[in-house]
Structure 1
Amino acid sequence: MQIILLFGLVGVAYTAYLILRILFAPLRNVPGPFLARFTNVWYLFQVHTGHVERKNCELHETYGKYNLLEGPVVRYGPSRYSFNSPEAIKTIYGHSTQFAKSSFYDAFMVPGVWNVFTERNIKFHASLRREFQATYTMSNLVNFEPYVDQCARLFDQRLHEVSVAGVTIDIGHWLQCYALDVISQITFAERLGTLESGDDIGGVMKALEDSFYYASTVGIYGEVHPHLFAVVSFLDRLGVGGKGKGLGYVIKVAQEKINAYKAKPAAIYEETQDGSEEFVSKFMKQNATNPERFTTNHILNGCAMNIAAGSDTTGISLSAVLYYLLKNPGCMDKLREEIITFRNDGKLSESPTYKQSQDMPYLQAVLKEALRLHPAVGQPLERVVPEGGATIAGKYFAQGTIVGVNCWAAHRNKAVWGQDADEFKPDRWLTKDADKLSAMNRNWIPFGAGSRTCLGRHISMLEMCKLVPRIIRDFDFELADGLEADWKTVAYWFVKPSNFRVRVRIRSTVP
């Protein structure tokens, strides 16, 4: 009886503490779901449902309608706040910012094994990034075009076969196959083989899906990750839950590829005449030049992160481009007209080059608009308010508070994008208003912002710029469920299409 009474008193005391904290908290007026004031369980549930990006947008839309002062910031946890305003992007992610990543990102790493994406120490991250950055510049990546062309030709062949067979396909899966084989080719000088078979070779895609579900949910309680990861890894070794679970498996695959690469003849380390040289070769040369500065861990993490981050993002983005073009036939016609005109004028090769794509204004507008409406990441990019606190969107946030911008919400802010922010309108990027265009570019953040901008963004854009004009020129696509049906997506960190089915037909007559 006394134990029951003791637990009851503790419960009452804790409840009173929560109520008092809410009543007197400096940020008590920041709106948000009632449950989110008390616990992160509300956020966990939204992530688990697979549609957190929609809910985040709804929060800003709902509270922004009724209170313009509070609309730019909403609560999604007891100490978690989401923003959608330009000033918040600049304050939180600016190049001189001292806002470090939150513990949410710990769940994207194998405990004790650093990587550039998850590193939370600002100074150490800057030093790591410097070691990798030169390899990821666009001037360097254009040398990989022959590798991308190989995969594009294979993808083209698969589409021809599908057209002849007259079947529908999950184009989202095939676009990820393309992206995965490209990143494998430019990293290890060999494809995984997904384009040849259409299968998830070695279970890499499944491992990535597992890791993103794990990280997007467990990251909310980042402190439990080291312990839970140990349990999951132990169960995997026992064969419980299937083969190839999580990021640890992807790192294992990367190490095997590196070992196989090292076993090849020494001649492979020499650059080819076209200047292309796979990432693993470049990394190994850096290691040979300065093994203490660029260690074998740098080689492994660089290669593993290419695979981990380089297929889902590009596959999702390509799917978004195709989906929005199919939902907006007028835009598809306009893009195809530009592509055919460039081809007829001799400005577009059979295998389009990156340089040629940069001279195609409507193509570039389509790519930017698709990534605006469907950025790959669907959760807030969390940061921690530094020592001394910070004022964001007119409110003071104490140090240690978690703040972040969700690209989905920022990309739908009507103050930036206009009342048609929810609509797919590539022409908005062709405006002659220099100030408006500059504002849109500053607030277009599908690859992140500031010093933590995605290292691989140029690889993704290279793949899209080369593939999109090729397949729109050569094939007709049709949504299998009809023009009126919306596609289904699932958001576990990345907002990924689910069974995005289309019919494909070879364009028999090209003007």
Structure 2
Amino acid sequence: MRLEDWERPMVAVTATVDRLVDFFTRDFKTAAISASIAVLFSWFLLSTIQQYYRLSHIPGPAGTGWSKWWLIGRITSGRTHLDYYEVCERYGSIARVGPNDLVTSDPDLIKRMSGARSDYRRSDWYNSMRFNPARDNVVSQQDDDKHNALRAKLAAGYSGREVEGLETRIDSHILELVDLLENSYITQNKPFDFGRKCQYMTLDILSDIAYSDPFGFLKTDSDVFEYIKTVEENFPTIIVVTVLPWLVTMMAHPIFASLLPSEKDRLGLGKVMGIMKKVCADRYGSTAKPKKDMLGSFIMHGLTKEEAEAETLVQVIAGSDTTAGAIRGTMLFVMTNPRVVNALRKEIAPLNLAPRQVVSDAQARNMPYLQAVIKEGLRIFPPITGLMSKKVPPQGDTFKGIWLPGGTKIGNCTWGLLRRKDVWGEDADSFRPERWLEATPEKLKDMESVVDLVFGFGKYQCLGRNIAFLELNKIFVELVRRFDLSIVNPEKPWNSVNTGIFLQSEYWVRGYLRED
């Protein structure tokens, strides 16, 4: 037989074998891919079912046990505070709002989670408070040991003890606000956006006591470098991150750097970041002279330059927005309650304050009705209503007979907390400062312990609480004693949107000089 007669069948056999190998190889790959998809789907399905059942004993809106869509919808609704409140009213003081998320209006549970010796920790909700995605600050830090160490370095500065002329600095900016309102608007018979003016003042105060160089919002009567506009436009996005915290980790990647605020920006949050970075560079320079402001205190207590950059930014963002929110909310209820205005003026009159004199903190603390107004304002319109979720310790916890599995996130329903009828009475929805004067000593203690939760509790209590009260103790006295203020449009006093904090604009007020 010739050689070519052998080659033909061999070629045919080889080709057949190749086709068979190719078929089985291709079929195996397809099977492997299909099997992998099936395994992943099964794992996802089983984990979803397991996640649902681990909290199925706690009621909540339909669908919250299966996905985060309800939460995402609520934080973008513009009425977040009311959504959480309605859930707690319907389902109880502990309710389910996500696959691994609960919300509570029970003050005892909130205190339990934040107590000094509590095993609860901050959850990844706080990732959204990293204004620099690559670096934690005292608000975002979730590791308790690191948080406590950082807090110790900041405490003296926030207390005000090491800030030279703290009260005098605050007084100067309050007078600056008074002059702006009187000279540019009231004597000109022009309405003004009271919400904006309040925030101008709190931003100038914070920048002054933080690093001795006020931004100049009041001086220019403008949103300097469009900071407020930028924050209002971007805050809803920041709040979305509280529900999807992995976004912060993703945004820290260099590929997304161009989408984030930068210190090179001419306007907005990036501009503030640039200012903070320059201030810190100057203060930590070899020829820098110590200054007796908050940053000077931080440096003296061992804060690093990188830590200082993060903390000074937090001071401005967190401190100014929340205090301005407290002033805006309280003044709306004061202006629309003549009884309250008259009672305040009656208490102010014996002080005999001079025209260029601002009420002192010591005087204000001894004014019972003023203190009742401040507490009632914080209660009826708290400036912060975000979840600020804490994480149940790994071993789990039982609270008032309810099992809380380890790793569950529990957030605050602040609006519901401050409207509990068992704490505030049947008129809990009414602004009535007198409740603080009528209460028995035991009841007053209970009420104060609950309203103080506006500023956090225990190891997570707000460091800026003392400075906020310094401002609140003064501003209401100075506005009420000097001006008659009225809402321009009582049917719609402002545009108010809540996404965890209140963003308020178009808060038009008309003022008149007091004649007596």
| Matched letter for residue 256 of structure 1 | K
Distance change >3 Å, CA 22–CA 129, structure 1 → 2: closer
The equivalent residue for 2:74 is 46
Q: Distance in 1 between matches of 2:280 and 2:143?
A: 28
Please tell me whether the aligned partners of residues 321 and 370 of structure 1 are also in contact (alpha carbons under 8 angstroms). Answer: yes
- Structure 1, unmatched stretches of 5+, are 64-70, 271-276, 288-293
1:234 and 2:243 equivalent?
Answer: no
Q: What are the within-5 Å matches in structure 2 for residues 272-421 of structure 1? A: 277-287=292-302, 294-343=303-352, 350-421=357-428
Please tell me whether the aligned partners of residues 338 and 360 of structure 1 are also in contact (alpha carbons under 8 angstroms). Answer: yes
1:253-276 per-position Cα deviation (integer Å, ceiling 9, x unaligned): 21123345678996x636xxxxxx
Q: Distance in 2 between matches of 1:386 and 1:278?
A: 38
Q: Distance in 1 between matches of 2:37 and 2:149?
A: 52
User: Of residues 242, 245, 255 in structure 2, which corresponds to 1:219?
Assistant: 242
1:84-114 per-position Cα deviation (integer Å, ceiling 9, x unaligned): 1122122111121121111111122123312
1:266-292 per-position Cα deviation (integer Å, ceiling 9, x unaligned): 6x636xxxxxx22222233344xxxxx
Q: Distance in 2 between matches of 1:258 and 1:298?
A: 10
Q: Distance in 1 between matches of 2:371 and 2:162?
A: 21
Q: Distance in 2 between matches of 1:22 and 1:102?
A: 17
Match of 2:192, SS state, is strand
Match of 1:55, SS state, is helix
Q: Distance in 2 between matches of 1:58 and 1:181?
A: 37
CA displacement at 1:302 relative to structure 2: 2.9
The equivalent residue for 2:158 is 136
User: Percent same amino acid among aligned pairs?
Assistant: 25
Q: Distance in 2 between matches of 1:20 and 1:227?
A: 27
| Matched letter for residue 462 of structure 1 | L
Match of 2:116, SS state, is coil
Please tell me whether the aligned partners of residues 32 and 75 of structure 1 are also in contact (alpha carbons under 8 angstroms). Answer: yes
Please tell me whether the aligned partners of residues 210 and 245 of structure 1 are also in contact (alpha carbons under 8 angstroms). Answer: no
Q: TM-score, normalised by structure 2?
A: 0.85
| Matched letter for residue 91 of structure 1 | R
Distance change >3 Å, CA 139–CA 406, structure 1 → 2: farther
The equivalent residue for 2:119 is 98
Please tell me whether the aligned partners of residues 98 and 122 of structure 1 are also in contact (alpha carbons under 8 angstroms). Answer: no
Please tell me whether the aligned partners of residues 236 and 243 of structure 1 are also in contact (alpha carbons under 8 angstroms). Answer: no
Q: Distance in 1 between matches of 2:483 and 2:287?
A: 41
CA displacement at 1:386 relative to structure 2: 0.8
Corresponding residue pairs, total: 482
Q: Distance in 2 between matches of 1:495 and 1:193?
A: 23
Larger of the two Rg values belongs to structure: 2
Q: Distance in 1 between matches of 2:481 and 2:207?
A: 26
1:101-156 per-position Cα deviation (integer Å, ceiling 9, x unaligned): 11111122123312111000011111111111122225556840111111111101
Q: Distance in 1 between matches of 2:42 and 2:428?
A: 47
Q: Distance in 2 between matches of 1:84 and 1:100?
A: 18
The equivalent residue for 2:486 is 478
| Matched letter for residue 489 of structure 2 | D
1:34 and 2:55 equivalent?
Answer: no
Q: Distance in 1 between matches of 2:96 and 2:80?
A: 14
Please tell me whether the aligned partners of residues 47 and 216 of structure 1 are also in contact (alpha carbons under 8 angstroms). Answer: yes
CA displacement at 1:339 relative to structure 2: 1.3
Distance change >3 Å, CA 152–CA 103, structure 1 → 2: same
1:124 and 2:146 equivalent?
Answer: yes
Match of 1:204, SS state, is helix
Please tell me whether the aligned partners of residues 352 and 469 of structure 1 are also in contact (alpha carbons under 8 angstroms). Answer: yes
Please tell me whether the aligned partners of residues 73 and 83 of structure 1 are also in contact (alpha carbons under 8 angstroms). Answer: yes
Q: Distance in 2 between matches of 1:407 and 1:195?
A: 32
CA displacement at 1:213 relative to structure 2: 2.5
| Matched letter for residue 83 of structure 1 | T
Distance change >3 Å, CA 232–CA 308, structure 1 → 2: farther
The equivalent residue for 2:96 is 75
| Matched letter for residue 108 of structure 1 | M
1:465-490 per-position Cα deviation (integer Å, ceiling 9, x unaligned): 122101110011101112x5454311
**Alpha-carbon RMSD:** 3.1
| Matched letter for residue 68 of structure 2 | N
Distance change >3 Å, CA 190–CA 22, structure 1 → 2: closer
The equivalent residue for 2:15 is none
| Matched letter for residue 259 of structure 2 | L
Please tell me whether the aligned partners of residues 87 and 392 of structure 1 are also in contact (alpha carbons under 8 angstroms). Answer: no
Match of 2:481, SS state, is helix
Q: Distance in 2 between matches of 1:243 and 1:55?
A: 37
Q: Distance in 2 between matches of 1:429 and 1:138?
A: 28
Match of 2:96, SS state, is strand
Please tell me whether the aligned partners of residues 262 and 274 of structure 2 are also in contact (alpha carbons under 8 angstroms). Answer: no
| Matched letter for residue 474 of structure 2 | K
User: Of residues 204, 213, 222 in structure 1, which corresponds to 2:227?
Assistant: 204
Comparing 215-224 with 171-180, which one deviates more in the overlay? 215-224
1:55 and 2:86 equivalent?
Answer: no
Please tell me whether the aligned partners of residues 162 and 297 of structure 2 are also in contact (alpha carbons under 8 angstroms). Answer: no
Match of 1:49, SS state, is coil
The equivalent residue for 2:19 is none
The equivalent residue for 1:468 is 476
User: Of residues 407, 418, 433 in structure 2, which corresponds to 1:426?
Assistant: 433
Comparing 8-17 with 167-176, which one deviates more in the overlay? 8-17
Please tell me whether the aligned partners of residues 412 and 422 of structure 1 are also in contact (alpha carbons under 8 angstroms). Answer: yes
User: Of residues 185, 188, 203 in structure 2, which corresponds to 1:165?
Assistant: 188
1:181 and 2:204 equivalent?
Answer: yes
Please tell me whether the aligned partners of residues 94 and 104 of structure 2 are also in contact (alpha carbons under 8 angstroms). Answer: yes
1:150 and 2:158 equivalent?
Answer: no
Q: Distance in 2 between matches of 1:10 and 1:285?
A: 57
Q: TM-score, normalised by structure 1?
A: 0.86
CA displacement at 1:210 relative to structure 2: 4.8
Match of 2:313, SS state, is helix
CA displacement at 1:6 relative to structure 2: 9.4
Please tell me whether the aligned partners of residues 123 and 409 of structure 2 are also in contact (alpha carbons under 8 angstroms). Answer: yes
Distance change >3 Å, CA 36–CA 362, structure 1 → 2: same
Q: Distance in 2 between matches of 1:252 and 1:96?
A: 38
- Structure 2, unmatched stretches of 5+, are 1-29
Distance change >3 Å, CA 310–CA 16, structure 1 → 2: closer
| Matched letter for residue 366 of structure 1 | V
Q: What are the within-5 Å matches in structure 2 for residues 429-508 of structure 1? A: 429-444=436-451, 445-482=453-490, 484-485=491-492, 487-507=494-514
Q: Distance in 2 between matches of 1:473 and 1:420?
A: 28
